Amino acid sequence: MLTSGGREDLQPVAHLICEERGLEFVQHQGEGSFKQVFQVRDTEGEVLALKVLKAGAASSRTEREIEAMQRCAHPNIVALKAVSRIRVEQVAYDYVLETFVQGGTLGDRLRREGPLGRAEIAPLGHAMIDVLAHLHSLRLVHRDIKPDNVMLAEDGSTPVLVDFGIVRDLSASSLTHTWANRGPATPYFAAPEQLNNDKHLIDWRTDQFSLGVMLTYAAFGVHPFKCEGEAPDSTVARVANRGEHSRQFLELADGNGLLCLSEMTQVWPVWRYRLPQELAAVWDSTTGG
C-alpha cells in the first residue's frame, strides 16, 4: 500500500489486523527501515505495540529476532505477545505484538535531562547486567545495546531492552558474511570485535562492552574512548583500532568510584569480566546495589 509519494503506508494494514484480532487502534508510533510501529489496545485495556513488517521485509534475520524474543522471559526484556501474518490484496504482511513500554527511551531521557545521578545509575546497571546474564544463559548476544534500545517503564526508571533485530544466536550459524568489513552494530556503542567483524570473538562480553559504553554515557555524557573535541567517527575508529581510553573518562570513572566501567570496556574480550555473575558482584559492591 503506497502513498502518492511512493512511501509504503501500513496504517490500513494495522487497522485490518486490529479488526481481525479484536484490538483497538490507538495511533502510529514510529517507523524503521523494515517496519512501522503502531500503538493498539486489547480488550482488557492493555496497551500493546503492533509492529507491521513492510511487504517482503521478512528475512532469516527477522525469523531469528522473533525466535530469540520467544525464548526470553525476563522482566527487563520486552515481552513478545503474538506473531502472525495477514493477507491484504494478495500481499502478505508479517506482524508481531509486543508489550508497549510507555516511558520513552533512555536516549530520550538523556537528551532531555542530561546525565543520570548515581542513585539512578546503580539500579540501571544492576537490571541491565541481569539481562545480560539471562541472554548469556540462552547463548544470545543482543549486539545493539544503546540508550535508544532501552525503554523506560511508566515509572520512568525501570529499563526494558527492546529491538532484537541483529541478535546473534551462538548456537546457530552466523548470518553475517565473513568477508564483511564490519559486523551488524550501531558503531558508536559497538565493541571492537563487531567493528572489525571478528565473529569468533563475539559472545556475551560483546554486549558487556556496549553496556559499559551506555552506562558511561548515561553517567557522564561521554564515550569511554572519546577525546575532547573529537568527532564521533574518530572515536569509533579508535575503538576499532583497539586504542586507549580517554584520560577524561578514566578521571571521571575513578573520581566517581566507577572504574569497573573501564574493565567492561576493555578492547579485548578476554580483558573484560569473564562471567555475568562476576560483573554483577563487582557492580553491586561498587555502587552499593
**pLDDT reported for residue 226:** 96
Q: What is the pTM of this model?
A: 0.89
**pLDDT reported for residue 119:** 93
**pLDDT reported for residue 5:** 42
Give the confidence band of 173 by pLDDT, cuts at 50, 70, 90.
Answer: low
Mean pLDDT along residues 34-57: 90
Phi, psi of 108 (to 5 degrees): -60, -45
Q: Are residues 249 and 113 in the same domain?
A: yes
Percentage of the chain beyond pLDDT 70 is 92
Mean pLDDT along residues 193-218: 97
Of 58, 75, 99, which closes a domain?
Answer: 99
224 Rama class: left (phi>0) / alpha (psi -120 to 50) / beta? alpha
**Residue 161 domain boundaries:** 106-287
Mean pLDDT along residues 215-233: 95
Most confident of 51-55, 67-71, 130-134: 130-134
Question: Among 6-10, 16-20, 101-105, 166-170, whose mean pLDDT is lowest?
Answer: 6-10
Q: Are residues 93 and 118 in the same domain?
A: no
Q: Are residues 85 and 113 in the same domain?
A: no
* Mean pLDDT over the full length of the chain: 91
| Contact predicate 189/240, CB 8 Å | no
Q: Are residues 221 and 151 in the same domain?
A: yes
Q: Are residues 71 and 122 in the same domain?
A: no
Q: Are residues 162 and 239 in the same domain?
A: yes
Cell (9 digits) for 153: 517503564
36: pLDDT strictly greater than 50? yes
**pLDDT reported for residue 2:** 45
Give the confidence band of 46 by pLDDT, cuts at 50, 70, 90.
Answer: very high
Percentage of the chain beyond pLDDT 90 is 77
Total of domains in the chain: 2
222: pLDDT strictly greater than 60? yes
125: CATH: 1.10.510.10
Contact residues for 149 (Cβ-Cβ < 8 A; gap 6+): 105, 161, 162, 163
Nearest Cα residue to 160 out of 127, 129, 112, 208:
127
231-283 per-position pLDDT tens digit? 999 999 999 999 999 999 999 999 999 999 999 999 999 999 999 999 999 99
Of 68, 99, 130, which closes a domain?
Answer: 99
Distance CA 133, CA 171 (A): 16
Q: Are residues 81 and 120 in the same domain?
A: no
Comparison of pLDDT for 250 and 94, the residue scoring more: 250
Q: Are residues 128 and 93 in the same domain?
A: no
Question: Among 6-15, 77-86, 264-273, whose mean pLDDT is lowest?
Answer: 6-15
Give the confidence band of 3 by pLDDT, cuts at 50, 70, 90.
Answer: very low
Question: Among 13-17, 123-127, 182-186, whose mean pLDDT is lowest?
Answer: 182-186
Q: Are residues 263 and 174 in the same domain?
A: yes
Of 67, 84, 99, which closes a domain?
Answer: 99
Q: Is residue 1 part of a domain?
A: no
